[in-house]
Structure 1
Amino acid sequence: MDISPHEDVLSTVLAAYNLRARIDTNPRLCGEWQLSTSGSGNASFHLVGEGGCYLHMEAMAPVWMEAGDLLLLPHDDWHLMSSRDTVPDRDNHLTLVEGEDPPDIPVTQLLCGHFEFDSGRRNPILAALPDHIIIRRRESGDRLSHLADLMNIELAERSSGYRPVLDRLADTLFVMAVRHHICSQREHSEGSLIAALADDRIRRALDALHAQPEAAWTLEGLASEAAMSRSSFAERFHALVGQTPIDYLTQWRMVLAERLLRDGRESVAGVMDAVGYTSEAAFRKAFKRVHGFGPGRIRQLLRRLGAGQA
């Protein structure tokens, strides 16, 4: 599967929103049990390391998952992992295995975690994903299955420092899972960044825009990158992304500006220049329109935090 065309935009978007993964729990279960991690407000995942279980979600039949299968829950929808294909209630019941595995009783090992972003839920990648994604080991390709194997090895051996290693591997797991979803789905809901990434021509324009967000882009220039006419490009871009090309450019520049301001090493003038603005008034207006507050608010927050640490 050729996945390289999607890497540039996906990488820059996830970097700007500062992806961080955390392992929450890794239960080893037997007998009758059920487990839910919904309610945190974060995107979450479950990797089946051993055995198998049923996934229960609203308005769908139970789904069997087995060793090596990955479940991604981008919107924290209610879900239940269970040893049974029917669920009597939504209470959380666990039968944890301690010591040696019990003879003749199936054991299931799960690795459960979540993903955090600096922007919270204001994330175009998360917003474009469905309520759940199941990636079967048999269809995930070598890289994703090898990554799952490595995570399970770290979990089984529990060598010194295994928890931060698992967290970093989980970062990669999210990126590879999203990339797999983009490449494996024939159709994506229009009005989303992922739909645009699946379109070769619009993706080329996004690649160029993300590579040089400070450039003096025009509709004509972006259409040229896509090898399309101005009108066709504008219509196709809006249909796929849900925004005009210039509105998307402005929003992306303001996402980068917020990140640079939070970093604290650049002046407002330096941030303006980095995202392609020469007018401070225009920059402040655009920043407030996208974020709901001006760039000065971030600097005030940083000063208060600095004073509190002094």
Structure 2
Amino acid sequence: MNNTDQLVHWLLGSLELQTTVFHVGQYCGRWRASTAGRALGSFHLVLHGDCYLHLEGAEPIALQPQDGVFLLRDIPHFLSPEQERTAVLPQVAMLPLNAAAASDATGLACGYFHFRTALSALIVDSFPDYVILRADDPSLRAARALLNLILEEGGDDPEQPSPLIARLVELLFFYVMRHVAQSDVVASGLLALARRTEFKPLLDHLMQAPGENWSTDEMARVTHMSRASFYKHFVDASGQPPAQFLLSLRMKIAAQHLHAGESVERTAEHVGYRSHAAFSRAFKKVIGEQPGAYRRGVRARDNLRQLN
């Protein structure tokens, strides 16, 4: 497994995602569907038929059966069967997937997702606003099997979809995120650095020994660059200065150790902090809560999942 693949697996292993399916069914005639305006990520999966995704300031995107859209941020958008951005489209009721429908009917599974922890939100910061899943993409063959299972679970009531669909969509999300992480669309952050040959040895060192005294000069030495050249190229690739990036990386690693049950004291030492107070301040700055509270929250969520 190469450096980038290891990093992708490490990041995906840190994501905590909760999915809610809003409705599963089909539209006929002229219609408009959107999940915008709720300050959540969302998705639309095309189960059968064709439609268009309309985004502000962009050309309509044609969607075909088993294509999908994952909107990682809440951005204005809507789906419709028409390529033109019609000013007014009627609000029509969604029919069950198994209901008799016209040949131009479009089956959709739509819903929302949010990231349970601040760490999860940090991980997707470098991803684009939206991701298009294409049914004919050979690198997503396994994802197509999940789409077929979602179609089988469609049910009779568009407003009361099977709870299994939410779990299937979560699995689908991880396939899509891995696909995106390994592509060229990630513009900044950890994954962008991992794709730059000159920074791969540095990333490996930072992840293996985050607690070492990593000054900018030392990081430049590992990459065999001058300090000025390293700083410029690093900021271009990651979108942030080396010190800020290092802080973020250390706290992401710390969050993973806390998630695994390690004590706050041992975690702080692993990422280079001898002072509990200094570690707590740094952790709260990046993750958004105190390390002890984060650890307790993870354990509470794990216990709840076991009960369910």
Q: TM-score normalised by the shorter chain: which range applies?
A: 0.7 to 0.9
Gap change, CA 1:279 and 1:241, over 3 Å in 2: same
The one-letter code sitting in structure 2 at the alignment partner of 1:80 is: F
Q: What are the equivalent positions in structure 2 for 1:143-222 lying under 5 Å apart? A: 144-156=140-152, 166-185=165-184, 189=187, 191-219=188-216, 222=219
Tell me the CA shift for residue 77 of structure 1: 0.8
Q: How many residue pairs get matched? A: 295
The one-letter code sitting in structure 1 at the alignment partner of 2:236 is: A
Gap change, CA 1:145 and 1:298, over 3 Å in 2: closer
Q: What are the equivalent positions in structure 2 for 1:29-108 lying under 5 Å apart? A: 29-86=27-84, 87-89=86-88, 92-97=91-96, 99-102=98-101, 104-108=102-106
Tell me the CA shift for residue 120 of structure 1: 5.0
The one-letter code sitting in structure 1 at the alignment partner of 2:172 is: L
- C-alpha contact (below 8 Å) 1:28/1:110 kept by paired residues: yes
Task: Choose from 276, 280, 283 the match for 1:280.
Answer: 276
Q: What does the per-residue CA deviation read over 1:217-267, in whole Å, with 9 as the maximum and x for residues that have no partner?
A: 454554465565554333322221122333222222223445655x59444
- Identity fraction in percent: 31
Tell me the CA shift for residue 41 of structure 1: 1.8
Tell me the CA shift for residue 207 of structure 1: 4.0
Gap change, CA 1:37 and 1:260, over 3 Å in 2: same
The one-letter code sitting in structure 1 at the alignment partner of 2:269 is: D
- C-alpha contact (below 8 Å) 1:34/1:94 kept by paired residues: no
Tell me the CA shift for residue 158 of structure 1: 6.4
In the other structure, the counterpart of 1:7 is 5
Give the distance between the partners of 2:169 and 2:222, measured in 1 at CA.
Answer: 34
Q: What does the per-residue CA deviation read over 1:19-75, in whole Å, with 9 as the maximum and x for residues that have no partner?
A: 344433322222222211112322222221211111112122322210122212111
Gap change, CA 1:233 and 1:163, over 3 Å in 2: farther
Task: Choose from 239, 252, 255 the match for 1:255.
Answer: 252
Residue range with higher mean Cα deviation, 30-39 or 7-16: 7-16
In the other structure, the counterpart of 2:267 is 271
- Structure 2's unaligned 5+ residue stretches are 156-160, 302-308
- C-alpha contact (below 8 Å) 2:49/2:104 kept by paired residues: yes
Q: Secondary structure at the match of 2:95?
A: coil
Give the distance between the partners of 2:179 and 2:300, measured in 1 at CA.
Answer: 42
Q: Secondary structure at the match of 1:35?
A: coil
Give the distance between the partners of 1:111 and 1:78, measured in 2 at CA.
Answer: 18
Gap change, CA 1:150 and 1:176, over 3 Å in 2: closer
Give the distance between the partners of 1:75 and 1:126, measured in 2 at CA.
Answer: 10
Tell me the CA shift for residue 166 of structure 1: 4.0
- C-alpha contact (below 8 Å) 1:62/1:85 kept by paired residues: yes
Is 2:240 the partner of 1:246? no
The one-letter code sitting in structure 1 at the alignment partner of 2:144 is: A
- C-alpha contact (below 8 Å) 2:25/2:97 kept by paired residues: no
Q: Secondary structure at the match of 1:243?
A: coil
Gap change, CA 1:53 and 1:204, over 3 Å in 2: farther
Gap change, CA 1:260 and 1:121, over 3 Å in 2: closer
In the other structure, the counterpart of 2:305 is none
Residue range with higher mean Cα deviation, 149-158 or 80-89: 149-158
Residue range with higher mean Cα deviation, 191-200 or 58-67: 191-200
Q: TM-score, normalised by structure 1?
A: 0.76
Gap change, CA 1:48 and 1:296, over 3 Å in 2: closer
- C-alpha contact (below 8 Å) 2:261/2:295 kept by paired residues: no
- CA RMSD, Structure 1 to Structure 2 (Å): 3.8
Q: Secondary structure at the match of 2:13?
A: helix
Residue range with higher mean Cα deviation, 27-36 or 283-292: 283-292
Residue range with higher mean Cα deviation, 269-278 or 68-77: 269-278
